[in-house]
Structure 1
Amino acid sequence: MRKGVKVTALLLGAVLLLGLAACGKKNVQNPQTTAAGSENTAETTAVLKQQIKVAALKGPTAIGMVQLMENAKEQTAKNDYEFQIAATADEFSADLIKGNVALAALPCNAAATLYNKSNGKIRILGINTLGVLSILDTGDSVQTVADLKGKTIYTTGKGTTPEYTLRYLLSSAGLNPDSDVTIEFKSEAAEVAAVMANAGTEEVIAMLPQPYAATVLMQQPDTRIALDVTEEWEKLNGSDSTVVTGVLVVNTEFYKNNRQAVDDFLKEYKSSVQYVNSNVDGAAQLVEDFDIFKAAVAKKAIPKCNITLITGQEMQDKVEKYLKVLCDANPNAVGGQMPDDGFYVK
């Protein structure tokens, strides 16, 4: 009898252990399966983020997007952005037309020229930078545009906004840009800044954008801003027409096929612009982190960079008025003719 009880107890114990083991298996996941599931989830998330290449110039057009660049680096941006920061638009213009670069920030008149010459393969999304040019003087001889007669002016941007803006101002003051002054072009603004930094006792006059102007003023305390180019422009054309320095453009084919991605970019870019303008110290540090300019220079320059985002009809009105002035002075400044309505994304 005792033996039967023992056997029964053993059998019951075995059944109980098997039941517990079975229950345990229901609640325990295979580590390999869990890991594979996580990998699949990560892959799915990565697929949802579209790869988009964005180009900008090393200056205000890049400064406006530094927060977005940081978000992309931290993988918190809506898409997988790859940024190319270039010294000149020539470095990415061909890729923009081909579609290898989807979005870009470049000079306004360069965008019009590319649109005309490519038969509409790019379109303009918005204005991202207004006037940023200043005429600097290491002496005190220049008080008006007319005072530039007989002077050598160092500048950059041959064939783009700086050249045509300067030519317009000189012509409006009764000066012949080809005979009354000498315009000495350098390939990069940094070269112009170097000329001024090494001026010594000789008077040197240059037209520079921010933040290069801020760099010179920091290095050369005796240098002054002789003329604000935007102010001079508005004296001639009224405040409803202003200098449009930089614009955001998109490859037309990319825009047609990826409108949501473009809308997402514009929202993130707008947020970045707001951050840069309201958090100068933090933005300046990001500018240095991305090797655009030193934080100390960016801190002084950002308030003068006129970084913005203007879209829609207001964008078109400002761009058209600016380009019309350039086109009337020299049609080559905008690619031979004013761009048609298809140039604008509204």
Structure 2
Amino acid sequence: MKRKLSLLLCAALVLASLAGCKPSASENDSSSSASGDISSGGSSSGDSSQEIPGPSDIPEINFMVLSGPTGVGAAYLVDSYAAGSAPTDAPFTLNTTVVADNNQVTDALVNGSADVAAIATNVAANLYTKSDGAIQVLAVNTLGVLYILEKGDSVHSMADLRGKTIYATGQGANPEYVLDHLLTANGVDPSTLDIQWMTAQEVSAKMVSSEQAICMLPVPAATALMVQDTGVRQALSLSDEWEKLDQGVLPMGCVVARTEFIQENPILIDALLDLYGDSITFMTEEGNAADGAALVAKYGIAPNEQVAQAAIPQCNLTFLTGQEMRAALEGYYAVLFRTDPASIGGGMPYDAFYYGGE
């Protein structure tokens, strides 16, 4: 789903959604006036025409993204619709927080301090089950971003990993389940590997200090490591290995929102999806590589512009909504359920999980 919002439509969306939207104040209270008097609907006192809402009238969305590939596609959106830079006729402003851990995102969604968030797909399914449907998934924003890297030249297939020691990040999340599934599908018992789970920073340190080593990392951490140590090579793309199994795409990142927020602000959600899709388009267009990388570095989504520019083409950014989103996620969740039902909360998500995917 990909639509463009005109400036006039954006203004109309604001007027239509203000009555139902109750924006949260940011930590510095800079948007407290967003909850001011809206009973007049922005009408001018001199004639029947309506004024375009000013910045103080625009509803605010508390938005949270993960650093790394899941947050990369939102960089242009975050920059363009921050309170200080959004156009006066914007349908919303974003109060954005960038965090490094999925648990921080789920906690914020549960306690209501985040309205919309970019998060790992298996974490979204888990949260939906554990919170009794407190969130819905709006879109898939990232496909496969995992790579096997090596200092050496011994790994050219999944089977070559048998018996190896692998430094890896992502235990209990998509990376672990994807790796287990791909190993098993290629006739390798995961228990025959010595997988040492650690943070991305610890993995990188291990690789740099070793003469021969193997790791699994997502971009941009994988990109940063290869920039730091030219002796590290990309051995396998786990997206390519997944596609060899002919079981659909590998959706690893998604956009979710609190169900209550969606119900109270359906027009605002549709506006957000339109503009998020535009952000993905901007970030993936070749002519915007330098500008996009600068934004990713500016918001701490990647460590610096050099890494960001090299990593963005490998981030597999996409924007799937509606039935296309649902088909991609259901295929992936079916694989995870067969691998480990607990990975998605013990069962397949209900129809209500998929916004616009009925």
Unaligned runs of 5+ in 1: 1-40
Shift of 1:101: 0.6
1:270 and 2:283 equivalent? no
Which of residues 123, 138, 141 in structure 2 aligns to 1:128? 141
Could you say what the CA RMSD is over the residues aligned between the two structures, in angstroms?
A: 1.9
**Secondary structure at the counterpart of residue 273 of structure 2:** helix
Percent identity over the alignment is 39
| Deviations, residues 68-111 of structure 1 (Å, cap 9, x unaligned) | 11112313353121111111111121220232211111111111
**What is the alpha-carbon distance in structure 2 between the residues aligned to residue 337 and residue 292 of structure 1?**
32
**What is the alpha-carbon distance in structure 1 between the residues aligned to residue 105 and residue 138 of structure 2?**
18
- Give the direction of change, closer, same or farther, for the CA distance of 1:42–1:211 in structure 2 (3 Å limit): farther
Map 1:156-235; keep pairs closer than 5 Å.
Answer: 156-177=169-190, 179-186=191-198, 188-199=199-210, 201=211, 203-235=212-244
**Matched residue, 2:77:** 68
**Secondary structure at the counterpart of residue 174 of structure 1:** coil
**Matched residue, 2:262:** 255
Shift of 1:175: 2.3
Shift of 1:216: 1.2
Contact 2:120/2:174 (8 A) holds in 1: yes
**Secondary structure at the counterpart of residue 244 of structure 1:** coil
Contact 1:151/1:181 (8 A) holds in 2: yes
Which of residues 327, 335, 354 in structure 2 aligns to 1:325? 335
Contact 1:134/1:229 (8 A) holds in 2: yes
Shift of 1:49: 1.1
Contact 2:67/2:300 (8 A) holds in 1: no
Shift of 1:43: 12
Contact 2:163/2:194 (8 A) holds in 1: yes
**What is the alpha-carbon distance in structure 2 between the residues aligned to residue 320 and residue 43 of structure 1?**
42
Shift of 1:58: 0.5
**What is the alpha-carbon distance in structure 2 between the residues aligned to residue 78 and residue 190 of structure 1?**
38
**Matched residue, 2:14:** none
**Matched residue, 2:18:** none
1:304 and 2:314 equivalent? yes
How many residues are treated as equivalent by the alignment?
A: 301
**Matched residue, 1:140:** 153
**What is the alpha-carbon distance in structure 1 between the residues aligned to residue 277 and residue 270 of structure 2?**
11
Which of residues 312, 323, 334 in structure 2 aligns to 1:313? 323
Shift of 1:42: 11
Shift of 1:149: 1.3
**What is the alpha-carbon distance in structure 2 between the residues aligned to residue 108 and residue 217 of structure 1?**
26
Shift of 1:292: 2.4
Q: Which of the pair is proportionally richer in helix?
A: 1
Structure 1 runs (4+) greater than 4 angstroms displaced: 41-44
**Matched residue, 2:33:** none
Question: What TM-score comes out, normalization by structure 2 length?
Answer: 0.80
1:291 and 2:303 equivalent? no
**Matched residue, 1:35:** none
1:115 and 2:122 equivalent? no
Map 1:4-153; keep pairs closer than 5 Å.
Answer: 45-73=54-82, 74-76=85-87, 77-153=90-166
Shift of 1:274: 0.8
**What is the alpha-carbon distance in structure 1 between the residues aligned to residue 352 and residue 207 of structure 2?**
42
**What is the alpha-carbon distance in structure 2 between the residues aligned to residue 95 and residue 215 of structure 1?**
29
Shift of 1:52: 1.1
Shift of 1:47: 4.5
Of structures 1 and 2, the larger Rg is shown by 1
**What is the alpha-carbon distance in structure 2 between the residues aligned to residue 55 and residue 196 of structure 1?**
31
Shift of 1:45: 2.5
| Deviations, residues 141-160 of structure 1 (Å, cap 9, x unaligned) | 11111111111111111111
Shift of 1:287: 1.3
**What is the alpha-carbon distance in structure 1 between the residues aligned to residue 277 and residue 177 of structure 2?**
28
Contact 2:219/2:311 (8 A) holds in 1: yes
**What is the alpha-carbon distance in structure 1 between the residues aligned to residue 133 and residue 235 of structure 2?**
39
Question: What TM-score comes out, normalization by structure 1 length?
Answer: 0.83
| Deviations, residues 96-137 of structure 1 (Å, cap 9, x unaligned) | 023221111111111111111111111100100001111001
**What is the alpha-carbon distance in structure 2 between the residues aligned to residue 172 and residue 50 of structure 1?**
48
Contact 2:165/2:194 (8 A) holds in 1: yes
